[in-house]
Amino acid sequence: MIVVDAGVLIAHLDARDTHHQKAEALLEAAAATPLGANTITIAEVLVGPARARRLEEASAALTRLGLREVGLGEGAAPRLATMRAQTGLKLPDCCVLLAAEDEEAQGVASFDDRLAAVVAPMGLRLYGG
């Protein structure tokens, strides 16, 4: 599984996003690999479409990707707190890392330099960085 961060999914959904073409290429290259995203990540991605009254359309696009929702499991709160304290990343980025850990993912798809800097030391491959 490749765990996808919000930036990649937002760029995929918005053709005007500066990373749209990069996101499309990344997702196309990963088409044979299962994709996942933390519940918080998916909620973050859907805020814009919800505001624009396009929630159903955006949700359907994520479903077409085959994106699997990775929930927050038992004991997530202290693990997220520790990740945040150790990495200095914002909590949504820590949710991406937690999902990658929990799913024993092969990598993380992200265009975020701060998140990317933490991926390799965790033994994960970075897609899109």
d(CA 63, CA 59): 6
| pTM (two decimals) | 0.94
Between CA 116 and CA 39, with CA 59 as vertex, the angle to 5 degrees is 50
Residue 105: the pLDDT is 96
Residue 1: the pLDDT is 97
Residue 92: the pLDDT is 96
Residue 35: the pLDDT is 98
Structurally, the chain folds into a number of domains equal to 1
Say what percent of the chain tops pLDDT 70.
Answer: 99
Q: Which residue segment(s) compose the domain that 12 sits in?
A: 2-127
pLDDT less than 50: residues of the chain = none
Residue 111: the pLDDT is 96
Whichever domain contains 18, its CATH number is 3.40.50.1010
For residue 116, which amino acid is it?
A
Q: Which residues, including other chains, have CB under 8 Å from residue 77's CB and lie 6 or more apart?
A: none
Question: H helices within the chain, ranges in order?
Answer: 6-13, 20-29, 39-51, 55-64, 76-87, 91-102, 113-119
Q: Are 103 and 3 in contact (CB under 8 A)?
A: yes
Strand, helix or coil for residue 18: coil
What is the token pair recorded at 42?
């998916």
Residue 9: the pLDDT is 98
* Cα dist from 64 to 32, 35, 36, 112, 114, whole Å: 13, 11, 13, 24, 29
Residue 103: the pLDDT is 96
